[in-house]
Amino acid sequence: MAPIACTRDCYDTCVFEPVKAQRLIDLRPSPLYPTYGFTCPRGRADVKRLYSPNRLRKPLIRKEGGFVEVSWGRALEEIAEALKSADPAEVLHVEYDGNQGLLTWYYPARLFNAMGAASTDYSICSAEGHAALKLHWGRSWGALPEELLSARSVVFWGVNAAVSFIHAWIPLRRSGARIAAVDVAVTETLKQASLPVVVRPGTDVVLALGVARELIRSRSYDADFISKYAYGFEEFARYVDEFTPEKVAEETGVGAETFYELVEFYRGRPKTVIGFALGRTLNGGDAVRAISLIHALLGDPLGFFYSNSGAWGIDFDYLRGLHLAKPSRVVPMGLVGEEAPKLRAMYVWNSNPAATLPGGDKICEAALRGDLFLAVHDVTMTETAQCASVVLPAPTYLEKDDVVYGYWHELLIYNEAVAEPVGEAKPEHWVVRELGKLMGLGGHPLLAEDPWAAVERALSPAGVSLSELKSKRIVALRRGDPMSFKTKTGRLELYSETAKSLGLPPLPAYTRPPRGLVLTFTSEPLHTNTQFTAENGPIRPVVYVNPSHGLSGVICLEARGVRVKAVAEPDPSVPPGVLLMRGIPKSLDGAPINAVVDGAPNPYGGTPRLNYSVVEVAKC
């Protein structure tokens, strides 16, 4: 059978060979690059989820006594009426990467742009680092899998790759590459790294600038590369000179011995995987900037990998219809919860914001009070769907045709359905076009354009036609020229004139973190964000904490007057001052853990500081 790609928000974007008898019975990981014949526990759980009794099968409307099943016609009328009667600026669509398909994630935004609704800024995950990297490099993409996997040494910085990025981690472990890893706790990744480096939360920028200083002082940088391609070396060198090993130790907690080992590691010209999590900490965008610039000094413009989503030239804006219509306003994702009580209607697909966004609990409060009309299109009854006015059943990626790209590998995959839609599940593009018709927007050019014609147009800058993709099934995309820097000066800006022109600091900045206990998160192997609790069990609300704090058993975490309840587990691999949770659990009393998480946007891409919330511990 034709291959099919996992559409989950994941570095790996695995390619599977579906195995079918009467119905789909297995997804066999492709033996080829870069899936290499293995996968994660979520990959195979998709087969289990496909026909699970937990799937949504029919549209539901909330009534006094709970949800009742209704026809698609009735459900769509209800939603169309609510969207039509509201001021478009008070209608917000919330979607993210539950499924990375071009038709599933991107195209449906056209309805909301056509009506002039409010949009989010899509900042929750990786926007901060994308924006930060562009200030120096004019791009955010970097190494491809083959470049990363053939490296003799790799630094995993702010990413628990042993759990969240297994198709980089396992091949590198097998190849015998030397591994350094930088984190705020001794995670699974640090435990297996030859050079584990534990930093205080929010201080990575100091460590990276300290490394840069040593490389410059010892003349271990590529002076030819710098003079040929870079701008602002003198200013950069002057600036980093204040980041002495003493300052590094004082701010980051990394002692001289480990620090010099890391400098030595970088002299070996490793690749660095810069984790998305960095963009979710204090000074995180600045850390991403500084780490990437180490590779500028080393003369390796493909030395880092962050996300390659922008490398292929796929026109995501075209898919969302931004060439013809714009949202009336943009709400940062970290502030959607705060905004919820002021909205009239919210339409959610491909995400579970009540659980995953800071203050997402306020979405449910507003909806259950009756102040907010909430519609949710999902494959299962999520926390957000449980509060909705109308719930619509969606097909999983196994039940619909779509086009899938990766944010690490360069393969573009044509996914053909391998199962019939379960129950009355309908794809996202069909739903928004039907809603458009009911709202009198059916003739709008954004909705009149056939979804596949939109995909064809969006792929043309990437140099791929749909007919080629359909016949080959997998096409390798090409990235641009790594020596072409689309910055203000046209050079690799060590001192960023691009940032300056935007009113941002031209050099990576550092603000000393306030004192206090920092709540942070690391990935968990059995779940992707909040998914697969039905198949793999719930995510336990455990806070791992250094034994010196004397905490164990049920505790409350409090911030800004909000409390959540969790179980404290003493763990020496977490340093004092850090509270580490695995996955995105719920409070013991059922509230989302994100009720206490800080939604304030970071400065470059607006990503909220999910990995840096100062909390108080209270008895409860």
Ligand X SMILES: Nc1nc2c(c(=O)[nH]1)N[C@H]1C(S)=C(S)[C@@H](COP(=O)(O)OP(=O)(O)OC[C@H]3O[C@@H](n4cnc5c(=O)[nH]c(N)nc54)[C@H](O)[C@@H]3O)O[C@H]1N2
Which residues here bind ligand X, judged by CB under 6 A?
Answer: 9-10, 96-99, 104, 124-125, 157-160, 163-164, 182-185, 187, 199, 201-202, 204, 275-278, 281, 349-353, 356, 377-380, 382, 394, 396-397, 428, 520-525, 527-531, 584, 593-594, 597, 610-611
In degrees, to the nearest 5, what angle opens at C-alpha 333 toward C-alphas 291 and 532?
A: 90
Partner touching 6 among ligand X, Mo ion, ligand SF4, none, CB below 5 to 8 Å by kind: ligand SF4
Least separation in angstroms between CB 27 and ligand SF4: 8
Rule CB under 6 A: say whether 40 interacts with ligand SF4: yes
Residue 100 or residue 153: which is nearer to ligand SF4 going by CB?
A: 100
What is the DSSP code (8-state) at residue 570?
E
x/- mask, ligand SF4, residues 42-81, rule CB under 6 A, reads: xx--------------------------------------
Here the tokens at position 438 are: 């009911």
Of 100 and 281, which CB lies nearer to ligand SF4 in the complex structure? 100
CA torsion through residues 325, 328, 334, 337, sign: negative
Question: What minimum distance in Å lies between the beta carbon of 259 and Mo ion?
Answer: 30
Q: Residue 428's binding partner, choosing from ligand SF4, ligand X, Mo ion, none, with beta-carbon cut-off 5 to 8 A by kind?
A: ligand X
Nearer to ligand X, 301 or 353 (CB): 353
**Encoding tokens for residue 220?**
């271990």
Q: Does residue 524 interact with ligand SF4 by CB under 6 A?
A: no
The string of DSSP codes covering 243-300 is --HHHHHHHH---HHHHHHHHHHHHT--EEEE-GGGGGSTTHHHHHHHHHHHHHHTT-
Nearer to ligand SF4, 119 or 523 (CB): 523
Residue nearest to ligand SF4 (CB): 43
CA nearest to 114, candidates 374, 330, 324: 324
DSSP character at residue 340: G
Q: Least distance (Å) from ligand X to the CB of residue 127?
A: 11
3-state secondary structure of 235: helix
- Say which residue the tokens 């909301």 belong to: 112
> Shortest Cβ distance from residue 524 to ligand SF4 (Å)?
12
Residue 356 C-beta: closest distance to Mo ion, Å: 9
Tell me which of ligand SF4, Mo ion, ligand X, none is bound by residue 39, counting a contact when its beta carbon lies within the kind-specific cut-off of 5 to 8 angstroms: ligand SF4
Contact 111/434 with Cβ under 8 angstroms?
no
CB nearer to ligand SF4: pick between 320 and 409: 409
Tokens representing 184 are 């705020």
Q: Which amino acid is at 248?
A: V
The answer to whether residue 613 forms part of the interface with ligand SF4 (CB under 6 A) is no
Based on the shown chain and the rule CB under 5 A, indicate whether residue 355 belongs to the binding site for Mo ion: no
What is the contact mask toward Mo ion in residues 92 to 131, using x (rule: CB under 5 A)? ---------------------------------x------
Question: Per-residue string for binding with ligand SF4, 525-544, x by CB under 6 A?
Answer: ---x----------------
Stretch binding ligand SF4 (CB under 6 A), from 5-13, 238-246, 250-258, 295-303: 5-13
Q: How far apart are CA 498 and CA 485, in angstroms?
A: 11
**255 C-beta neighbours (distance < 10 Å), count:** 11
Shortest approach of ligand SF4 to residue 29 CB, angstroms? 8
Count how many residues are written for the chain.
620
Residue 12 CB, nearest approach to ligand SF4 (Å): 4
Name the one residue in this structure whose structure tokens are 């087969």. Answer: 47
Choose between 166 and 363: whose C-beta lies nearer to ligand SF4.
166
Assess contact for 279 and 610: CB atoms under 8 A. no
DSSP secondary structure letters along 326-341: --S-EE-GGGHHHHGG
Q: How far is CA 341 from the centre of its chain?
A: 26
Closest alpha carbon to 513 in 588, 598, 435: 598
Could you give phi then psi for residue 609, rounded to 5 degrees?
-85, 65
What single DSSP character describes residue 549? G
Residue bearing tokens 């102040």: 371
Binding of residue 277 to Mo ion (CB under 5 A): no
- Confirm if 273 and 151 have CB atoms less than 8 A apart: no
Pick between residue 10 and residue 143 the one whose CB is nearest to ligand SF4: 10
Q: Which of 8, 62, 400, 409 binds ligand SF4 (CB under 6 A)?
A: 8
Q: Least Å distance between CB 183 and ligand SF4? A: 20
CB of 597 to ligand X, least distance (A): 5
Closest CA to 165 of 178, 175, 156, 153: 156
Q: Indicate left, alpha or beta for 120 from its phi (over 0: left) and psi (-120 to 50: alpha).
A: beta
Is position 164 an interface residue for ligand SF4 (rule: CB under 6 A)? no
Nearer of residues 174 and 437 to ligand SF4, judged by Cβ? 174
Three-class SS state of 321: coil
Q: How far is the CB of 541 from ligand SF4 (least distance, A)?
A: 23
Q: Which secondary-structure segment (H or E) carries 100? A: none
Alpha carbon distance 27, 6 (integer Å): 10
Q: Which residue in 3, 30, 39, 272 binds ligand SF4 (CB under 6 A)?
A: 39
- Which residues form the interface with ligand SF4 (CB under 6 A)? 6, 8, 10, 12-14, 39-40, 42-43, 166, 528
- Which residues form the interface with Mo ion (CB under 5 A)? 125
